[in-house]
Amino acid sequence: MGNKPLYAISIVAEMLQLHPQTLRQYEKLGLVTPSRTLGNTRVYSDEDIDRLRFINTLSKEMGVNTAGIEIILNMRDQIDGLQEQVDALKKYIKTRMNEHHKTTDTEKAVVPSPPRNIIKVKIEKE
């Protein structure tokens, strides 16, 4: 479980002003997945609490039903995954550009460098 702060269901329910049964229902629906102790007690991380706050905002303040919340959370998770891929691609491009700039003058004379304003990227399916 690492060094992350973990909270029992009663503490989270009090923090978020939700009934513990609501938290159990959110888990049953797959909206949040708290960790479990060896004794099978639910423990919530700070990330879980942030997610629950978001769910609570969607539900109570915006009137979104649980099916809508599930769709929104799935889209949010997909966006986060895509952002990670974009960040990895940026890092890869930066590394390749740095490697390209480290080539010797003779290599540069033999292999012309591409125009600086054009970057070709090959994206492969996983």
Beta-strand pair 35-36/42-44: antiparallel
Q: Are residues 60 and 90 in the same domain?
A: no
pLDDT at 116: 59
Residue 73's pLDDT is what? 95
Q: What is the pLDDT of residue 5?
A: 77
In this predicted structure, what is the pLDDT of residue 56? 95
The pLDDT score that the predictor gives to residue 74 is 94
Structural domain range at position 22 = 1-64
Of 63, 59, 1, 55, whose CA–CA distance to 30 is shortest? 55
Same domain, 2 and 58: yes
Q: So what's the pLDDT on residue 53?
A: 96
Of 27, 79, 67, give the one whose Cα is nearest residue 51.
Answer: 27
Q: In this structure, are 45 and 84 located in the same domain? A: no
pLDDT of amino acid 98: 83
pLDDT, residue 96, reads: 85
Q: Enumerate residues 6+ apart whose C-beta is below 8 A from 22.
A: 13
pLDDT at 125: 53
Please tell me the total count of domains within the chain. Answer: 2
Q: Are residues 60 and 1 in the same domain?
A: yes
Q: Which residues does the chain have with pLDDT short of 70?
A: 1-3, 103-126
- Alpha carbons within 13 A on the beta-carbon side of 14: 5
Q: Are residues 79 and 28 located together in one domain of the fold?
A: no
